[in-house]
Chain A
Amino acid sequence: MKLSCLQENLSRGLSIVGRAVAGRSTLPITQNVLLETDRSMLKLSATNLEIAITTWIGSMIEEEGAFTVPARLLTEFVNSLPSDRIDLEMEEGGGVLRFVCGRAEARIHGADANDFPPIPQVEEGVAARIGAQDFKLAISRVAFAAATEESRPVLTGVEAKLSGDRFTLAAADGFRLAVQHGALAEPVESDIGVIVPARTLNELSRLLGDQNDTVDIMMVPARSQVMFKIGGVEVVSQLVQGAFPNYDQLIPQKYDSRSVFDLQKLLRATRSAAIFARDGSNIIRLQMTPGEEEAPGKAVISARSEEVGENQGEVDTEAIEGGESKIAFNSRYLQEVLAVLERGQVALETTTSSSPGVFKPIGSDDYVHVVMPMFVQW
């Protein structure tokens, strides 16, 4: 193998595939990155066996070939080089890849490409196409609600359902549920539902950056694989096996009280309360009181810790429908849903203090977030 490429291209490529490099692993070669000539490009691949990322960078190929070197070492070395041309060449006798960039030179010991786990080729599945930013928004609003502990593996995934020209992402961790609907860029030929690891989607979201392009998706449930193509990057992931819980019945269709908040105001009061909640039982209490006649009403957001003290903030609501209501949430769950909705207004719908609270952004029917309350003494 012998080729030349630009330092900045190699650096960028390595940072893209780097997220799939295994940490400590029982299979040491998964800590390597696979370098492979592919027509007139240099192909970079890494995998931790759950997820594989591949990208291509432009290069001048003189001699074809493939080799793997430790990803972290190579990345750090390349990042230390000036923005210049890098020449790569296998040393005679093999086993060592030589890098030359200006007057810097390195010899890196590696492993045979044939020993690298094969990157699955995902073909002949159900194809779909989603706008990159639509997908990124949906991931940001849903993936955080997935479970992080593995006691129920399906809950560590995000269920993706595609039907006609719509998609739905849903995640739940046993205490909360997030569901986002959106439009596909092109309709799917057949309806399909798969469970994608939340980790995969979080990596994908990072790769999507501020791209305005579309993401091509290929799902092969029979082989439990999914591939995402974004620009010149391919992400292949294992799917989570199993049946996702039927969550429709968990989304309350009625409420006794509905309060509309300015998100920034509510988020600010919640963050103040969270400082006090974190030393106690992580409980934040919300008490909504409708206003007299035309007045919009107010909410008191409070938290207390026996040791530290207590905090109480009052927020004007934009509107309160129905009567007074009281509900207490885990501080993290409350902050997380408010943070992903970012700006604008949000409605909180409640029935009783021990029934789920429902958050919906105002002006969009595409998102619903259900959070179970904490049972507290009022």
Chain B
Amino acid sequence: MRHIIHADLDAFYAAVEQLDAPELRGQPVLVGGSPRSRGVVATASYEARVFGVHSAMPMSTAVRHCPQGIVVRPRFDRYREMSRRVMDIFHDLTDLVEPLSLDEAYLDISAVVASGQLPLGVAIDLKRRVKEETGLALSVGAGTAKSVVKIASDLQKPDGLVVVAPGQEREFLAPLPVGKLWGIGPKTAERLRRDGITTIGDLAGQPGDWFARRFGKRAESVRARALGQDDDPVQTERSPKSISAETTFPNDISAPEELRGKLAGLAANVARHLERKELQGRTITVKLRLSDYTTLNRQTTLTYATAAESVILETAWRLLAAELSPGLAFRLLGVGMSTFGEAPERGQQLALPLAEG
């Protein structure tokens, strides 16, 4: 079981402005573009939200709702700096931090919990540290699944703290409106409402085959989220666009067996990286640099995604072998994989990567 925290800074841009300018504290602050130039609200302080102002609202509308609001132009460099300080505090707690934007992140605290601390204690400490070291208020949701903690952190904002105990996920989600669920947009929510499904609990109570009919390939993941049982891991980095390995030889190589040996090492390297990042690719590229520095790139795209070392090697070798001719010497070889396929759906039969013969 994972223990995850969703940490979300309250009214972040406005809070930074209030922090830096004491005269703005307690005032309705509207961070965003000018009301005369079709600017929109980036963040409204909680004092301004009382008047019905929310982010993405045209600034001209916002000042109509809240004439006493103080409009402040955003200072993104300052927000980035503050964000970095907060993220550093997160990283003190765990290496597994997945930033979603400047002001929110998922933290995998499984290791901290395993060492004996309770999720509640971890959350309280985190809030206190952020407050003490940056002056910013943090809302925290803690629990066992991303879908649950994301909703939990939002529930008692500002300065909120909601811990959902293991086993209580479904009950916690049940009374909440279905549109709060990640992946259920306003349109889907509206369609579900027409079918009498208004709460997440209504959704979770539907039978398995109903989900399959309704959501097709997404059925299992939507259902898992509705039950608070999704197991999406905290992703510490974005997926790369390609993974490659290359090597320059101390002496140029022309013997095919030797080239194949080098290629095998590179293929193994790429395969290992793919596996570590849980990626499967379809496009295999070889990079060849001849002794005269001519550089060739040759690539082919398979009909299926794979991370198999043998497939990468054989495909790369086919591409390389087509370029071989007597007397040709190579100073550099590279192997790359790109066009990554989507991660397989739960319950999906994985395919055997059968290349054309």
Contact = CB atoms under 8 A, between A and B. Distances in A.
Contact of B208 (A245, A280, A354): A280
Contact of A307 (B208, B314, B349, B350): B208
Given A246-B357, A375-B348, 16 more contacts: A172-B354, A175-B349, A243-B357, A245-B356, A247-B354, A249-B308, A249-B311, A249-B313, A306-B207, A307-B207, A307-B208, A354-B350, A374-B348, A374-B349, A374-B350, A377-B231
Given A175-B351, A250-B308, A377 B357 contact: no
Contact of A306 (B208, B314, B348): B208
A160 interface: no
Interface string A229-264: 000000000000011111101100100000000000
A250 B208 contact: no
A283 interface: yes
A370 interface: yes
A283 to B, nearest CB: 6
Contact of B346 (A307, A356, A375): A375
5 contacts: A175-B352, A176-B352, A243-B357, A247-B354, A250-B352
Interface residues of A, number: 32
Contact of B347 (A174, A356, A370, A376): A376
B252 interface: no
A341 B308 CA distance: 27
B78 to A, nearest CB: 42
A356 B345 contact: no
Nearest to B231: A377
Interface string B307-320: 01011011000000
Interface string B334-357: 000000000011111111111111
Interface in B201-238: 207-209, 220, 224, 231
A51 interface: no
Contacts of A243: 356-357
B276 to A, nearest CB: 11
Interface of B: 207-209, 220, 224, 231, 275, 308, 310-311, 313-314, 344-357
Nearest to A173: B352
Contacts of B348: 374-375
Contact of A245 (B310, B346, B354): B354
Where chain A touches its partner, the secondary structure class is loop
A370 B349 CA distance: 14
Contacts of B313: 249
Interface in A154-200: 154-155, 172, 174-177
Nearest to A352: B275
Given A246-B314, A354-B344, A373 B308 contact: no
A253 B308 CA distance: 12
Query: Which 9 residue pairs of A and B lie closest in terms of their CB atoms, listed nearest first?
Result: A243-B357, A249-B310, A375-B344, A306-B208, A245-B354, A372-B350, A281-B347, A245-B357, A244-B357
A330 interface: yes
Contacts of A177: 352
B357 A174 contact: no
Nearest to B313: A249
Given A243-B357, A246-B357, A307-B207, A376 B351 contact: no
Interface in A243-298: 243-247, 249-250, 253, 280-281, 283
B213 to A, nearest CB: 14
Between B207, B220, B275, B350, the greatest number of chain A beta carbons within 10 A of the residue's beta carbon is seen for B350
Contacts of B344: 354, 375
B1 to A, nearest CB: 12
